[in-house]
Amino acid sequence: MLKSIAHSHCETCGDLTTFPHDHQNDLTGLDDGPLIFPPRNKPTRKTATELRAIRKKAWATRRTKYGSCGHR
């Protein structure tokens, strides 16, 4: 037995609304359709004390690994 699936159609283009689209011209060439690349989430900024601790740890590791000269 087949179940009838009710799809809604876009009022502007008549296409099935399986993805959100708004028919806005934003000069991307991809005015309608699902997002290809989702918006990026920016990492939270580290405080000055956190950055200082990270740098301190990195330099300590470098000194123990390579000696006082800091390179091989």
Under DSSP, is residue 59 helix (H, G, I), strand (E, B) or coil?
Answer: helix
Summarised one tens digit per residue, pLDDT across range 21-47 is: 666 666 555 555 566 677 889 999 999
DSSP 1-30: -PPP----B-TTT--B-SS-------SSS-
Residues of 15-25 as b/e, b for ≥16 C-beta within 10 angstroms?
A: eeeeeeeeeee
The domains of the chain are located at 47-72
CA dist 59 and 65 (Å) reads 10
Confidence band of 71 (pLDDT split at 50, 70, 90): low
Whole-model pTM: value is 0.43
Which tokens belong to 1? Answer: 């037995």
